[in-house]
Amino acid sequence: MRYETLKMHSNESIANYFLCVDEIVNCMKNLSEEIKKVVLVEKVLRSLSAKFESKVSAIEEKEDLQNLTMTRLHQILTTFEMRKGGPSDMREVAFKVSAKGKKNSVNQDTFQKKNMR
């Protein structure tokens, strides 16, 4: 994917999108191309999927884009995605681990009770 045609897919998570952006920016830097932080931040804001329109407007009104870092933008958008209920990869993993822990706990309790007899 090229920088000029950078666009977030509707089912893509912020984490995956920022990985893609970082990869493109690193390739550009390796080719000795310079890109200003503010230009990159503005590009990312313009290229987000439609589900982020309201947040983009809020960021443009509230934040000073000249001083907004990519790390801070990533944090803001990740928080928004989690609250809005976007891609739930992390929540599903957390639920699976939590559920697995309960299952193992029940199995250990049963095992301990059997061995105490």
Range of the domain at 28: 1-86
Q: How many C-beta atoms surround the C-beta of residue 89 within 10 A?
A: 11
**Do both 98 and 77 map to the same domain?**
no
**Do both 99 and 67 map to the same domain?**
no
The pLDDT assigned to 103 comes to 54
Predicted structure pTM score? 0.68
The pLDDT assigned to 5 comes to 82
**Do both 112 and 78 map to the same domain?**
no
The pLDDT assigned to 98 comes to 56
**Do both 3 and 59 map to the same domain?**
yes
**Do both 10 and 46 map to the same domain?**
yes
Q: 42-77 pLDDT, tens per residue?
A: 999 999 999 999 999 999 999 999 999 999 999 999
**Do both 22 and 56 map to the same domain?**
yes
Q: 80-105 pLDDT, tens per residue?
A: 999 987 655 555 555 555 555 555 54
Domain count across the chain:
2
Four-point Cα dihedral 17, 19, 20, 24, nearest 10 = 140
